[in-house]
Amino acid sequence: MSGQPPAQNVQAFRGVLPRLGRGSWIHDSARVIGHVVLGDSVSIWCGAVIRGDVNSIRIGAHSNIQDNSVLHVSHKTERDPAGSPLVIGSHVTVGHSVILHGCSIGDECLIGMGSIVMDKVLIEPRVLLGAGSLVPEGKVLSSGHLYIGRPAKLVRALTDAELAYFSYSAEHYAKLARDYQESA
C-alpha cells in the first residue's frame, strides 16, 4: 500500500491486502477488499465497493470508480480455471451506480451511470457505453463506438470530441481526488 498503514475501508481477505498506486484515493465511505491492485492516481468515490475476494481486480492509472458502483469477480472452477477476474484499463471513467462483474475494459472508456457489464465481456479501448446499458456475458464492444441499451447495441462511431472527452474526464477526476486529499 505504498508504505501507508491500511485505512479502515481497505481490508485484507485471506491474507491479501489491496495494493494502492501512488496518489490513489479512496473515499472514507468506499470499501476495497482483497486481491485488488489500483494504479497511480486512481480514485474510488463515495459508497463504491470493490471486492476482490474470489478472484483479482486490477484498475489502471488515472481511472475513477464513481459513487455506489459495485465491482466484483467470479471464482475459478474446474470448468473455468481462470474464472472471471476484473480488469479496467487506464483513464477509464466508471459512472455512478455501475455494476462491473468479471469483465475487461480497455483504456479510455466511459461506462455510463447505472450500467451493468457481465462476466467475460470485453470492452475494447475508447468505447462509450451509454447510461443504463446492460452488456450480457461474453459480448465484445468494438473500439471507437457508442453502445447503448438493454442489451447494449452499437449505435454509431464516436466523434473526435467524444474521443477527446475520455482523457479529460479521467484527468478531471484525478484532480478532484487530489483536492479531496489536500482538504482532509
Reading the block at residue 70, the C-alpha cell is: 459495485
pTM exceeds 0.85 for this model? yes
CATH number, residue 136: 2.160.10.10
pLDDT in tens, the chain (184 residues): 444 545 689 999 999 999 999 999 999 999 999 999 999 999 999 999 999 999 999 999 999 999 999 999 999 999 999 999 999 999 999 999 999 999 999 999 999 999 999 999 999 999 999 999 999 999 999 999 999 999 999 999 999 999 999 999 999 999 999 999 999 7
Angle at 171 between CA 164 and CA 151, to 5 degrees: 60
In the numeric block, the cell 486481491 is attached to 35
Residue 66 in any domain: the answer is yes
Containing structural domain, residue 164: 10-183
Residue 2 in any domain: the answer is no
Residue 3 in any domain: the answer is no
Quote the number of domains for the chain. Answer: 1
DSSP states of 91-153: S-EE-TT-EEES-EE-SS-EE-TT-EE-TT-EE-SS-EE-TT-EE-TT-EE-TTEEEEETTEE
